[in-house]
Amino acid sequence: MRKRLLSVTAALVLTLTTVLSGFLVEAAPVVIPEVDQARLAEVLYEGLISCEETISVSEFNIPYDPAMGANDAGAVLLNEIVFSFDDVFYIESFQMSARGSGSGYIISSIMPTYTDTSENCVAKRTAAIQAANEMIADLGELTDLQVALVLHDRLAQTVEYDMESAANNAPVGSDCYTMYGALVNHLAVCEGYTAAYAYMLDQFDIANRKCRSVALNHVWNIITIGGTEYHVDVTHDDPMVNGLDRLGLVWHKNFLRSSAGIYSTTHAANDYDATPDDTTYDSYFWQDIDSAFQYLDGSFYYIDNHAAQLRRWTGGESSETMLALPDRWNAGAGYYSGCYAKLAADGKTLIYHDDATIYRYHTADGETTVLCTPELEDDSAIYGLRVRGRELDYAVDTNPYGAGPIVKTYILRRIADGNGDGDVTDADRMLLSRYLADWDVEIDLSLMDINGDGAVTAIDRAILARYLAQWGEPYNSYFD
């Protein structure tokens, strides 16, 4: 967890300037001024998402005592609000101006310092929100618990812990601390995981707040399910094994835990919010599940590696077996005992693997088909996979937790394969033409923005037509 430090300076005459940068202060409690905090948050948010240089807050008559410095109640209030917006992650610090009022001072405005140009900040925020929307798009009919579980697992499966940034103590404002880092770069430290999870929970009105520990140098979420609070630490449920991210390995040891439960995992400290005390899920069945739950076609699926089974969760602690999986993995002259299969989904089917082959599992009829059979060395096997967009990444190694897994990529969906048949042909061009002519057609638009300009237009159709006509470069480069 990167601490944000607060410093205070004073200008001449009646203008005081306070420089703030989202801080964690161990100090005596302050009395927050009685202001309309909801309206104040709205004013600040609107100004920050527009990257305004000066945001007026004079209408709120927030008192300021320069003798209190960083611990002034008005400064604390503004600091807490400014750095509370998970989608406004590009604030490096802000200055605060005050004007004389009677015998004291009133805070009149703040002047944020942004981490980049306003154009770039807005573009990054847009990209992060788009990525979040894509992750939550199919979850509208689920319960709060189901949403919390799926988002926990999707984050843990698609984000990697940013070891380099953590080791180098990346400066405030770095992407690794933000939802942009988690959702767009797929690299984050605990603050990035926590911010992304909080933002997406907010979209479902699931109450949540941050839980911080100075002793652990760590932050995670406390969320409310059914009126009861629980700890959720997505970062620690995306474990590094031998210093490496393991594709598809998702723990649930830190999901919906009581304070006693979370303390027993990797949270042995006494300086964080220990309010959650409900133990309902401390011994739940998913505590032993090391693969991500996948939500597809209205059902939840997971792999029970201990039982070597693909299972469908039917509610509560009940499930049904869909498929038996191998319980030994190739090691050349011998084998490793155990099931090391992992589970992913691409929106159409489940995807899983044994030691040598990657399969599709079709939930509609229970049919299994081969997706691909990678070329492997005699002593190597597949140990994990994940889906990111149109790419399937899978790990190849000589043992389950080796120090040097090789990550390879298989393209699930090609650019311009609008009809999803696995190839790019004139049928896709015709489909795109009909879409542009406002026909009611079924087409995957995520693959049809061929030139990457953010829109599907006649320019994309022209590029596709010339590619199919074998015009060569530069048209072939769009399809590499």
279 shares its domain with 408: no
Query: Which residues pair with residue 75 across a beta bridge?
Result: none
Other Cβ atoms closer than 10 A to 212:
19
7-58 pLDDT tens trace: 333 332 233 444 544 433 333 445 667 889 999 999 999 999 999 999 999 9
Is 365 within a domain? Answer: yes
Provide the pLDDT confidence category of residue 472 given band limits of 50, 70 and 90: confident
284 shares its domain with 142: yes
What pLDDT is recorded for position 5?
34
Residues spanned by the domain of 371: 298-412
- C-alpha span between 261 and 232 (Å, rounded): 11
Asked if residue 156 has pLDDT above 90, the reply is yes
279-320 pLDDT tens trace: 999 999 999 999 999 999 999 999 999 999 999 999 999 999
What pLDDT is recorded for position 10?
32
Q: Residue type at 313?
A: W
Residue 474: cis peptide before it, omega within 30 degrees of 0? yes
Give the residue with greater pLDDT, 163 vs 27: 163
What pLDDT is recorded for position 31?
61
Residue after which a domain boundary falls, among 60, 82, 114: 114
Q: Which of 293, 328, 294, 325 is nearest to 309 (CA)?
A: 325
CATH of the domain at 368: 2.120.10.30
- C-alpha span between 271 and 314 (Å, rounded): 38
Is 418 within a domain? Answer: no
Other Cβ atoms closer than 10 A to 203:
16
370 shares its domain with 443: no
145 shares its domain with 230: yes
Other Cβ atoms closer than 10 A to 192:
32
329 shares its domain with 402: yes
74-127 pLDDT tens trace: 999 999 999 999 999 999 999 999 988 877 899 999 999 999 999 999 999 999
Percentage of the chain beyond pLDDT 90 is: 75
What pLDDT is recorded for position 13?
29
Provide the pLDDT confidence category of residue 70 given band limits of 50, 70 and 90: confident
415-426 pLDDT tens trace: 888 887 778 899
175-216 pLDDT tens trace: 999 999 999 999 999 999 999 999 999 999 999 999 999 999
Sign of CA dihedral 68, 74, 79, 80: positive
Is 419 within a domain? Answer: no
- C-alpha span between 262 and 273 (Å, rounded): 11
DSSP secondary structure code for residue 181 in this structure = I
Q: Determine the average pLDDT of the residues in 355-375.
A: 95
What pLDDT is recorded for position 32?
65
329 shares its domain with 279: no
Tokens of 468: 């199919």
308 shares its domain with 373: yes
Other Cβ atoms closer than 10 A to 35:
16
SS (H, E, C) 223-255: EEECCEEEEECCHHHCCEECCEECCCECCCCCE
229 shares its domain with 181: yes
Q: Which of 2-11, 222-231, 445-454 has the lowest mean pLDDT?
A: 2-11
CATH of the domain at 175: 3.10.620
Under the phi-then-psi rule, with left for phi > 0, alpha for psi from -120 to 50, and beta for the rest, what region is 99? beta
- C-alpha span between 71 and 27 (Å, rounded): 8
Q: Which helix (H) or strand (E) holds 136?
A: helix 118-136
Asked if residue 392 has pLDDT above 90, the reply is yes
What pLDDT is recorded for position 189?
97
Q: Determine the average pLDDT of the residues in 253-278.
A: 97
Is 417 within a domain? Answer: no
188 shares its domain with 97: no
**What is the domain count for the chain?**
4
187 shares its domain with 210: yes
Residue after which a domain boundary falls, among 274, 290, 306: 290
Q: Could you tell me the pTM of the whole model?
A: 0.86
Contact status, residue 352 vs residue 338, Cβ threshold 8 Å: no
- C-alpha span between 81 and 112 (Å, rounded): 13
Residue after which a domain boundary falls, among 361, 380, 412: 412
302 shares its domain with 184: no
Is 253 within a domain? Answer: yes
Tokens of 385: 């996979």
Is 324 within a domain? Answer: yes
133 shares its domain with 94: no
